[in-house]
């Protein structure tokens, strides 16, 4: 099979000088793909680089639509190269992580992307002009190794908070609760673990032990090696929110991190063009705004698995509270309780498909957001100025 090729569009700036060519390779999960689509929009709209985005055929339509909505898809502003899985090697749940059933199966999904490696290498080598930089998700650890073998520098994209990565590094180093003598060490006392560099951070050992399942641990180790070997890290965060953790990462862990979260979040224009067809939930919000009503938005994640009993408790609370609400439910066949949707009809709207969360949070009538503490949700609420309440699972 001939390698896929891409001639990066708009390779020159307004002065005729050749722009750097950046290849962008997101993990096939919307929460990981959207920030890197935003990065592609940011690079193109500011005239900083030519961009080629790599993804699988099952995710290509979403990527092209998002780039077009961001104002950089028309006229070939950003090339999209499709990397099909070899026959019989597609992940069991499909080409997107939204098809996985649990956090443990997420590791299997991430590992199942590795059969793309030969086609990824062919595509990266065939790019014209040659790619000068690869930005790849940290979970695609093998892509960083491929880029190094081809002489293309790479940086890792880390889609979660700097806090999470700093605490992870401390736990890997200190192994709380795993003292060989069975006694507490200096950072572990009374059933809690204190991060030595941040004495105000204390965790119950019950939340840290036992460790994650072996597949997740193995994936984490491979990812850590790839991140350490890359030329830097793009973190989806910002200094005003996580300054001390970003500074600690740069001083003590590395490689250097560039926190550009809000720029990513604000780079892509709204997908709800007033002259284009609007999805029904946005029309519903328009009606609420016209009636002077305020709305609570609920989304408990696309990858997080919330027990059905908790979903029913949320439903019961919404029904009792009497508030107007829009709830993006996952999984789409979740049972919220017999008759719930009928009883809240008119003031409640339950959506069982993917929604553009940023458009919802930016709507004038949405005045609150109940979330599962997903990091994209935290950043999007900050960028949209929408009050946020986290429901940790």
Q: What is the pLDDT of residues 215-269, one digit of tens each?
A: 888 999 999 999 999 999 999 999 999 999 999 999 999 999 999 877 777 765 5
Q: Say whether both 86 and 226 belong to one domain.
A: yes
- Let me know whether 147 and 194 are in one domain: no
Task: Give the pLDDT confidence of 165-220 residue by residue, as tens digits.
Answer: 999 999 999 989 876 445 456 677 778 999 999 999 999 998 887 777 888 889 99
In a domain? residue 272: no
Residue 106: band (very low, low, confident or very high) from pLDDT cuts 50, 70, 90: confident
Q: Are residues 263 and 349 in the same domain?
A: no
> SS3 for 278?
coil
What 3-state class would DSSP assign to 28? coil
SS3 368: strand
Domain boundaries, position 230: 21-159+212-267
pTM above 0.85, yes or no: yes
- For 110-129, how does the pLDDT look when each residue is reduced to its tens digit (9 = 90+)? 999 999 999 999 999 999 99
DSSP result, 307-366: -HHHHHHHHHHHHHHT-EEEEE-SSTT----TTHHHHTBTTEEEE-S---HHHHHTSTTE
Residues 337 and 226 in one domain: no
CATH of the domain at 246: 3.40.50.2000
Q: Report the percentage of the chain scoring pLDDT > 70.
A: 88
Q: Is residue 3 part of a domain?
A: no
User: Is residue 2 in a domain?
Assistant: no
Residue spans of beta strands (DSSP E) within the chain: 21-25, 50-55, 78-82, 133-137, 154-158, 188-189, 192-194, 202-204, 233-235, 257-259, 295-299, 324-328, 348-351, 366-371, 388-390
Asked if residue 333 and residue 224 are part of one domain, the reply reads no
Say how many domains are in the chain: 3
- Residue 53 domain-assigned (yes or no): yes
| Residue 313 and residue 299 in one domain | yes
The whole-number average pLDDT for the span 54-62 is 95
Of 232, 245, 231, 237, residue with least CA distance to 263: 237
Are 349 and 367 part of one and the same domain?
Answer: yes
């Amino acid at each position: 099979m001939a390698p896929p090729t891409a001639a990066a569009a708009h390779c020159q700036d307004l002065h005729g000088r050749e722009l750097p060519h950046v290849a962008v390779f997101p993990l096939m999960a919307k929460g990981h793909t959207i920030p890197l689509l935003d990065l592609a929009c940011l690079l193109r709209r500011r005239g900083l680089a030519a961009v080629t985005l790599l993804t699988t055929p099952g995710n290509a339509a979403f990527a092209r639509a998002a780039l077009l909505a961001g104002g950089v898809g028309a006229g070939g502003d950003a090339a999209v190269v499709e990397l099909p899985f070899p026959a019989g090697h597609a992940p069991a749940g499909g080409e997107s992580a939204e098809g996985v059933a649990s956090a443990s199966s997420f590791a299997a999904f991430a590992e199942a992307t590795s059969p793309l490696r030969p086609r990824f290498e062919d595509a990266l080598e065939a790019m014209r002009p040659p790619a000068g930089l690869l930005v790849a998700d940290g979970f695609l650890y093998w892509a960083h190794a491929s880029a190094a073998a081809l002489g293309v520098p790479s940086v890792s994209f880390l889609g979660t908070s700097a806090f999470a990565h700093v605490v992870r590094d401390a736990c890997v180093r200190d192994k709380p609760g795993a003292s060989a003598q069975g006694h507490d060490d200096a950072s572990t006392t009374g059933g809690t673990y204190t991060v030595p560099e941040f004495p105000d951070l204390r965790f119950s050992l019950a939340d840290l032990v036992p460790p994650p399942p072996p597949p997740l641990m193995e994936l984490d180790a491979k990812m850590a090696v790839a991140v350490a070997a890359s030329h830097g890290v793009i973190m989806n965060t910002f200094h005003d929110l996580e300054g001390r953790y970003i500074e600690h990462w740069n001083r003590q862990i590395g490689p250097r991190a560039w926190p550009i979260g809000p720029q990513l979040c604000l780079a892509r224009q709204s997908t709800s063009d007033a002259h284009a067809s609007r999805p029904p939930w946005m029309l519903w919000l328009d009606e609420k705004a016209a009636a002077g009503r305020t709305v609570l938005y609920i989304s408990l994640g696309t990858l997080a698995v919330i027990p059905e009993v908790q979903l029913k408790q949320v439903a019961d609370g919404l029904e009792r509270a009497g508030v107007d609400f829009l709830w993006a439910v996952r999984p789409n066949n979740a049972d919220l309780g017999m008759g719930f949707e009928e009883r809240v009809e008119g003031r409640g709207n339950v959506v069982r498909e993917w929604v553009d969360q940023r458009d919802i949070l930016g709507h004038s009538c949405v005045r609150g957001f109940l979330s599962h503490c997903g990091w994209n949700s935290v950043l999007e609420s900050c960028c949209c100025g929408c009050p946020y309440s986290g429901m940790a699972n």
